[in-house]
Structure 1
Amino acid sequence: SPYRTVLRDNAVPTIFDLTSHLNNPHSRHRKRIKELSEDEIKSLKERKIDETSEQEQTNQETNNSTSAQNAVAEGGGEQDEEVLPLTLEEKENKDYLKSLFEILILMGKQNIPLDGHETDEIPEGIFMPDNFQALLECRINAGDEVLRKRFETTAVNMLFCSKTQQKQMLEICESCIREETLREVRDSHFFSIVTDDVVDIAGEEHLPVLVRFVDDSHNLREEFIGFLPYEADAEILAVKFHTTITEKWGLNMEYCRGQAYIVSSGFSSKMKVVAMRLLEKYPQAVYTLCSSCALNTWLAKSIPVVGVSVALGIIEEVCSFFHRSPQLLVELDSVISVLFQNSEEKGNELKEICRSQWTGRHDAFEILVDLLQALVLCLDNINSDTTVRWDNFIAGQAFVLGSALVDFDFIVTVVVLKNILSFTRAFGKNLQGQTSDVFFAASSLTAVLHSLNEVMENIEVYHEFWFEEATNLATKLDIEIKLPGKFRRSQQANLEPEVTSESYYKEVLSVPTVEHIIQELKDIFSEQHLKALKCLSLVPSVMGQLKFNTSEEHHADMYKSDLPNPDTLSAELHCWRIKWKHRGKDIELPATIYEALHLPDIKFFPNVYALLKVLCILPVMKVENERYENGRKRLKAYLRDTLTAHRSSNLALLNINFDIKHDLDLMVDTYIKLYTSKLDLQEEVLPTSNSEITENT
C-alpha cells in the first residue's frame, strides 16, 4: 500500500488502546480513508518515481555547479594535492619494506622470537643469524626477487635489517594492529579497562591491559590492547597509566564506565591508588571486581600481611608442581584414595578438583585444608622415592614445597583465611553467577558486612576457635606449634613478657585481615557500583522475579548523560515492563544482558538499549559468549608458551591478536613518514658498508 507508517529510530513505543473508539460517539462520523483502485495505486507510484528522479537530477546539477565554483576559487589547488606517481626506485623500496613487515607479522603470529641462539651457545668462529635474518634468507631462497635484488651484493655476515629498524617496524606493527581494535572501541563509545597480573617481559615488569566494549553486533568483547611498563611508585604509575591510555592509545576516558585490576599480593595496593586517581578525574569509571577472578581470591591477594602473601605463593607453586605431568597427579590420586577410603565420594571429588586450577575457586582454602595431609604425604613420597621414578629436580622441588607446607605459620594462615573468607564465599559466588544472582548479591552486601563486623567485635572468641583448628591440624600432621623464627629471635633481645603463639597470630594475622576485608568490600562496592548493579533489574528475567515491580529510574540517574532521550526514560521503562509483563505464554524472559541486547525490537527502546550496553561492559559482569573472551585466554597461552627471555611486548600483541586484519601498505607508509624521507629512503633501508655487522665475522 502507498500509505505506510514508518517509525523513527528514536521512536518510543506506546501502549495503544484499540477499542476505545467504539465507545466514542464522535468517532463514528469520521471520514473513512478512500480505498484506491489498482490504476490509482499505479498512477501514484509513477508520480513518486518521477518526483524522485527530478530531485536526484536537481541535486546532481547543484553538486556539479558547486564543484566547478570550488575549482575556480581554489585556482587549480587540486593539482597541487594530487598524489604524484611513485618512481621505480620508490616502488621498489616500498615493496622491500612490505616484505620486511610480512616477515615480522609472521613471526608475531607464529610466536617466533626475534633472537635465535643465545650468544654463549654459539661455538666460537661460527656465525648464526637471528630468526629474522634466517627468515629473510629463506624468503630470498624461495624466490622473492625484491629481496634477492636488494641483497645480492651484500656480504654474508652482514645484518639485513638492523636491530633499531626491527624495533621501529615492530612498534608500527603493534600500533596498527592495536588501532583496529581501538577503532571499534571508539565506535562503541563506552568501554571499561581491565588489567591482569604483572608479568615479566624480557626482564622488565609489565601490566597487561584489556578493554571491554560492545561491538556493532551487540556482543560484549574483551580484547587485549597491549602492555604497560610497571612502575614501583604508585603515583607515577597512575600518571603513566592515564597518559598511555589517553594520549598514546587515543581513548577518551570520559567514556570509561568501569575499571578492574587483577594483581598479585605485592601490587594490589598500588593498583588501588591508580583506581582512585582515575576515579577522581572520571567519577563514572566505576571501580569494580573483575568477573574472571573469584572475590575470595581477589580479597586474599589484596591483604597486606606478609604471611598471607607467602602462603598464596606456596599454594600456587604446589598447584603448578602437580600439573607438571600426569604422573604427578596420578601419584597424588593414589594418596587421596588411601586417605579417603572410608569416604570414596569425597576422595573422588578431591581428585577431580586437583585436575583443575583449583587455587582460583571461591572455596580454595577449604579445599586446601582438606587436601593438606594428602599433599604433604605425596610430596614426602616423591622426595624419598628410591626407585628413581623422579629426577633430581622434581625430587628437590618436592622437598622444598613439602617443607613449606609443614610450617606452622603456613598452617595458621591458611586456616584463618579459610574461616574469614567463608563469610564472603556465597556472596562472591553469586557475583559470578547468573544476572539475577548478581542483582540480588548487591542487596546481600549489607548482611555480609554485618557478619564481618560482628566477627571483628568478638575477635577474641573467633580467633580462639580458629587457632584451635590450626593446632589440631598441625598435630595431625606432626608439625611443631611455634612462633615464626624471625619473631622468636627478635623477642630474645627484649625483656618484655613472652608472647604466646595464639596472641601473636591474633595481632599480626586475624585482626588486620578482618579489618582489611571489611574496608576492601566497602571500597570495591561503592555506592555507584551498587547503583549500577541495581539497574540489572532491567533484564526481563530479573523483572519477572521481582513481579515487574521495579524502579530502575531511581538507580539509572548516574547514567542519564549516556542516554539518547533521558526525558522519556520513565515512560520508556514503563513500556518495557508492560511488554514483558503481558508477553505471550510461549515467550521466555531473556535471562541475560546478552539476550536482551539481541532482541529484534530492542532499538524501539533506545534508553533501555543504552543502559544495557553500559551495564554490560562493567568488569564485574561476565562475558556470556566465550567466543568474545579470547583476549585473556590468548594472553595466558602466550605467557605460558613463551620463555621470559623471548617475550616481546610488540610480538605478543601480534600473536594474541593474530586474527585482526592488517594493512601492509599503511604500515609501510607510516614507516616512511616517521623514519625516512624520499631523499634518504634508499640509504635507510639498503644495507651498506656502515650497516650493523655481527661480532663473529
Structure 2
Amino acid sequence: RCQRWVENCRRADLEDKTPDQLNKHYRLCAKHFETSMICRSSPYRTVLRDNAVPTIFDLTSHLNNPHSRHRKRIKELSEDEIRTLKQQKIDEAFERKQATQESNENNEQNTVSEEGGEEQEEKAVPLTLEERENKDYLKSLFEILILMGKQNIPLDGHNVDELPEGIFTSDNFQALLEYRINGGDEVLRKRFEMTAVNLEYCSRTQQKQMLEICENCVREETLREVRDSHFFSIVTDEVVDIAGEEHLPVLVRFVDDSHNLREEFIGFLPYEADPEILAVKFHATITEKWGLNMEYCRGQAYIVSSGFASKMKVVATRLLEKYPQAVYTLCSSCALNVWLAKSVPVVGVSIALGTIEEVCCLFNQSPQLLVELDNTISALFQDNDEKGNELKKICRSHWTGRHDTFEVLVDLLQALVLCLDAVSSDLSVRWNNFIVGRAFVLSSALTDFDFIVTIVIMKNVLSFTRAFGKNLQGQTSDVFFAAGSLTAVLHSLNEVMENIEVYHEFWFEEATNLATKLDVQIKLPGKFRRAQQGNFDPDMTSENYYKEILSVPTVEHIIQELKDIFSEQHLKALKCLSLVPSVMGQLKFNTSEEHHADMFKNDLPNPDTLSAELHCWRIKWKHRGKDIELPATIYEALHLPDIKFFPNVYALLKVLCLLPVMKVENEKYGIGRKRLKAYLKNTLTGQRSSNLALLNINFDIKHDLDLMVDTYIKLYP
C-alpha cells in the first residue's frame, strides 16, 4: 500500500523508504483516499480498509496556493502527463472496485482484530431512509436512558398500588420520551404520532435490552484501559441489596497511561449462597463476560459484611489456586480491626456489629439527637472535659470504621444508654414516633449483658492489632515497617492464647463492672438456657460460658486470619516497598530488594539487568543534591521525569501499588468507591438498578451512541 502511494505521488525522495518507515514517518492524510475506503467505526480514529490505496491527488493545487508553494518541491507535469496519470488512476480504481466486489461476496463482514476483541467494520452500502430513521429513533432512546442513569432517575414512576383502578400513568422513561416529543423531536413524533396515549411506547423488555447494552459499552471503556495497562487487582465491597436481590459490587485497580493508580467501579455480581458456585461465577464473569485475563491479576481483596467473610475467603482461595500471583490482601479502605471483627465466626459478634451500625445511623439521621448526646456526655465527663470533647468530636464522624471502634463504644456506652432512655421515655412531642421506637429498641440491645461482654472482649483482643492495623493505613514507610512487625503481633496473640484463662478473667471482670454501672443483670443468655432445658449444667457459670463461646474462638480466629491475609507472598511484596526512595533513606540505603522481587520476575521487561538497575537506583538517591527531597510514595516515584530510565523499577512500582492494601494516594482517582456509596445512600432499595448504577457512578466516562445503536441492531434485528 505504501509503495503504491509513493508511485502515485511521484515522490522520488521516498521511493527507497521501506513500508515501515513510511508508516511511521510519512503518514497519509485521509483526503488521499476514496470515501468508501475509509471506515469510521470508532470516534477516536480513522481506520483504512485492508485494500485501501490512495487514489485522490490534486497535483496542481499547490501552484495556486502561495502559502504552500515553497513547502515541497514537486515536479510540474505537462498536460499529457497529467492526462496519462488520470487515465491510470481511473483504470486502477475500476480494477479495485471489481476486486472489492468479489471479496465482499466471499466475506460479507470484514473484522479488525484488536487486543480487547473485534470491531465490525461499517458496510460501504448506504443506509436506506427506513434504516436511517430507525437508527435516529434508537439513538434518541439511548440518550434518554443515559440521561436517566447519569441523573439517577429510576425507570419506574408511581407504584401500581398508589393509583386508582383503571388509571394509566407513564413511567419515568415514557414521561421523558413524551417530553422530548413535545420539545420537537421529529423522529420520535413520527414514530409515535399514531400510538394511543395509554400504551407504552417502549416495552420493559426493550428497555432492559438497551440498558444492558449501555452498561456493557460504558464498562468496556474502563476495561479497555485496564487491558492496556496489563496488570490489575480486583476488590469487592460489602454485599448490597439491588431491587430485592443481593449483589456484590466489584471494583478494579490499575495504573493508567498517566501513571496514576485508579480504582474504578465496573459492576455488580449476583451473590450466591454457595461459596463454590460463587467462586465459579465470579471467575467466569471477570474472564468471560468482562474479558480480563486473570493471569495479569496481582491482588484481590474483599470487604464483606458479617456472615459473608467465610464465603468470600473460599472465593479468594479458589482464585489463588489458579492464579498464585493474585495475592490475597486487606483493602486499604477498611481498618484491619473492623475487617477482623466482621470475619469472626461468632454470632454474638455479628449481632453486636449490626447494633453498633444502627446506633450510629440513628444519631447521624437527627442533629437534635446528637445535641442530646452531647449534653449527656458533658454531664458524665464533668471532671474530664478533654475526654468529653474528644468523644463529642468522634460522635460526629463515622466512628464505626475506626481502628479503635470497640474502645470508643465502651467509653460511650453509658452516655448512649442514658440518652436513648431519655428519648424513649420523653412524653412531650419533641421526638417523632420513629425515633422514640428506635431509641427504645436500641437501648434494650445496648443493655443486654451478652452485648456488653462481647464488646469488652473484642476491645481487649483487638488491642493487640490496633497499632499494626493503623500503620497499614499510614504512609508507605509505615506499611513497610508494619510488615516487619507482624511476627511480634502474632507472638503476643499466641501468648494470650496460651494463658487465655488469666486474660479472660480480667476481661470478664471489666465487663461485669460496666454492666453493674448500667444496672444490667449478669447472667447467661436466655437462648442458651432455653436450649439446655432439662440438661442444664449448674456448674456452668457466665464466665466459663463466654470463655468457651467467645474468647477462645475469637483469639484463635484472629491468629489464623492474620496468617492467611499476610501470607509469605504478601509480606515479600510489602518488603519490596524499600524501592520507594524515602524508605531507602530511612534504611540508610542499605537495602536488598532483589531477593523479594523474585516473585515479580516475569513482570519485568529486563529481569537480567535488575540487580544493576537497582544499584543505580540506590546510588541516584544516595548521592542526590541537598535540595532534592526523597519521594515519599509510589505515586511520587512513578511521576518522576526520569523514571523510564529505570524500566524494571518502574514495572515493580506499578505492580506494588496495585496491591489493595496500598491506599490510592490521589483521592480523585479513587472516586469510584465514594460514588458507589453515594448511589446506595441516595437510592431506595426497590429503585436500584445494576445497569443504571453503572451509568450513574461512571457518569464522566465517554459513551459512543453510534456503537450502542449498532450493537442493538446486531443483537436484536
Q: Which TM-score bucket, shorter chain as reference? A: 0.7 to 0.9
Note the alpha carbon deviations across 1:407-461, whole angstroms, 9 max, x for none. 0000000000000000000000000000000000000000000000000000000
Equivalent residues of 1:631, 1:656 under 8 A apart: yes
Partner of 1:353: 394
**1:466 has 2:507 as partner:** yes
Instruction: Report the alpha carbon displacement of residue 325 of structure 1 after superposing the two structures with TM.
Output: 1.6
**1:183 has 2:224 as partner:** yes
Partner of 1:221: 262
**1:133 has 2:189 as partner:** no
Look up the equivalent residue of 1:472 and give its one-letter code.
N
Counterpart pick for 1:632 among 657, 662, 673: 673
Look up the equivalent residue of 1:304 and give its one-letter code.
P
Look up the equivalent residue of 1:573 and give its one-letter code.
L
Look up the equivalent residue of 2:451 and give its one-letter code.
F
Counterpart pick for 1:416 among 457, 460, 473: 457
Look up the equivalent residue of 1:247 and give its one-letter code.
E
Counterpart pick for 1:286 among 296, 307, 327: 327
Instruction: Report the alpha carbon displacement of residue 498 of structure 1 after superposing the two structures with TM.
Output: 3.1
Distance 1:597 1:433 in 2: 19
Counterpart pick for 2:716 among 663, 675, 689: 675
1:5-16 correspondence to structure 2 within 5 Å? none
Partner of 1:245: 286
Which structure's relative contact order is higher, taking Cα pairs within 8 Å and 6+ residues apart?
A: 1
Q: Cα–Cα, structure 1 residues 263 and 123, in superposed 2: closer, same or farther, change >3 Å?
A: same
The gaps in structure 2 that reach 5 residues or longer are 1-10, 34-50, 54-91, 109-122
Look up the equivalent residue of 1:165 and give its one-letter code.
Q
1:557-596 correspondence to structure 2 within 5 Å? 557-596=598-637
Equivalent residues of 1:560, 1:566 under 8 A apart: yes
**1:613 has 2:654 as partner:** yes
Q: Cα–Cα, structure 1 residues 495 and 66, in superposed 2: closer, same or farther, change >3 Å?
A: closer
Counterpart pick for 1:338 among 379, 387, 412: 379
Note the alpha carbon deviations across 1:493-520, whole angstroms, 9 max, x for none. 1054430000000000000000000000
Partner of 1:369: 410
Counterpart pick for 2:492 among 427, 437, 451: 451
**1:92 has 2:133 as partner:** yes
Counterpart pick for 1:172 among 201, 213, 226: 213
Counterpart pick for 1:660 among 689, 692, 701: 701
Instruction: Report the alpha carbon displacement of residue 127 of structure 1 after superposing the two structures with TM.
Output: 1.0
Note the alpha carbon deviations across 1:645-689, whole angstroms, 9 max, x for none. 00000000000000000000000000000011xxxxxxxxxxxxx
1:385-404 correspondence to structure 2 within 5 Å? 385-404=426-445
Look up the equivalent residue of 2:577 and give its one-letter code.
L
Equivalent residues of 1:71, 1:78 under 8 A apart: no
Distance 1:502 1:294 in 2: 30
Equivalent residues of 2:352, 2:454 under 8 A apart: yes
Equivalent residues of 2:582, 2:630 under 8 A apart: yes
Partner of 1:161: 202
Counterpart pick for 2:685 among 644, 656, 659: 644
Distance 1:638 1:57 in 2: 55
- Aligned to 1:482, the other structure's residue is in SS state coil
Distance 1:51 1:664 in 2: 44
Partner of 2:516: 475
Instruction: Report the alpha carbon displacement of residue 51 of structure 1 after superposing the two structures with TM.
Output: 10
Look up the equivalent residue of 1:92 and give its one-letter code.
E
Note the alpha carbon deviations across 1:108-127, whole angstroms, 9 max, x for none. 00000000001100122321
**1:121 has 2:190 as partner:** no
Q: Cα–Cα, structure 1 residues 123 and 569, in superposed 2: closer, same or farther, change >3 Å?
A: same
Note the alpha carbon deviations across 1:124-161, whole angstroms, 9 max, x for none. 23211100000000000011000001000001111100
Give the TM-score taking structure 2 as reference length: 0.85
Give the TM-score taking structure 1 as reference length: 0.88
Partner of 1:551: 592
Equivalent residues of 1:71, 1:77 under 8 A apart: no
**1:431 has 2:472 as partner:** yes
Look up the equivalent residue of 1:583 and give its one-letter code.
R
- Aligned to 2:300, the other structure's residue is in SS state strand
Distance 2:157 2:183 in 1: 21
Partner of 1:310: 351
Equivalent residues of 1:564, 1:606 under 8 A apart: yes
Counterpart pick for 1:541 among 558, 582, 596: 582
Note the alpha carbon deviations across 1:25-62, whole angstroms, 9 max, x for none. xxxxxxxxxxxxxxxxxxxxxxxxx9975645987799
Partner of 2:299: 258
Equivalent residues of 2:529, 2:536 under 8 A apart: no
- Aligned to 2:248, the other structure's residue is in SS state strand
Taking only the aligned residue pairs, the percentage that are identical comes to: 83
Equivalent residues of 1:103, 1:132 under 8 A apart: yes
Distance 1:404 1:658 in 2: 41
Look up the equivalent residue of 2:241 and give its one-letter code.
D
Instruction: Report the alpha carbon displacement of residue 77 of structure 1 after superposing the two structures with TM.
Output: 4.0
**1:103 has 2:103 as partner:** no
Q: Cα–Cα, structure 1 residues 578 and 134, in superposed 2: closer, same or farther, change >3 Å?
A: same
Partner of 1:328: 369
Counterpart pick for 2:572 among 523, 526, 531: 531
Partner of 2:8: none
Distance 2:354 2:13 in 1: 73
Distance 2:166 2:423 in 1: 45
Distance 2:319 2:98 in 1: 49
Look up the equivalent residue of 1:185 and give its one-letter code.
V
Look up the equivalent residue of 2:471 and give its one-letter code.
N
Instruction: Report the alpha carbon displacement of residue 72 of structure 1 after superposing the two structures with TM.
Output: 9.8
Q: Cα–Cα, structure 1 residues 580 and 137, in superposed 2: closer, same or farther, change >3 Å?
A: same
Q: Using the TM superposition, name which of 394-403 and 484-493 deviates more.
A: 484-493
Equivalent residues of 1:295, 1:428 under 8 A apart: yes
Distance 1:328 1:86 in 2: 65
Instruction: Report the alpha carbon displacement of residue 488 of structure 1 after superposing the two structures with TM.
Output: 1.4
Q: Using the TM superposition, name which of 490-499 and 52-61 deviates more.
A: 52-61
Partner of 2:534: 493
Equivalent residues of 2:236, 2:250 under 8 A apart: yes
Residues paired across the two proteins, number = 627
Note the aligned Cα RMSD (angstroms): 2.0
Equivalent residues of 1:227, 1:649 under 8 A apart: yes
Distance 1:57 1:466 in 2: 81
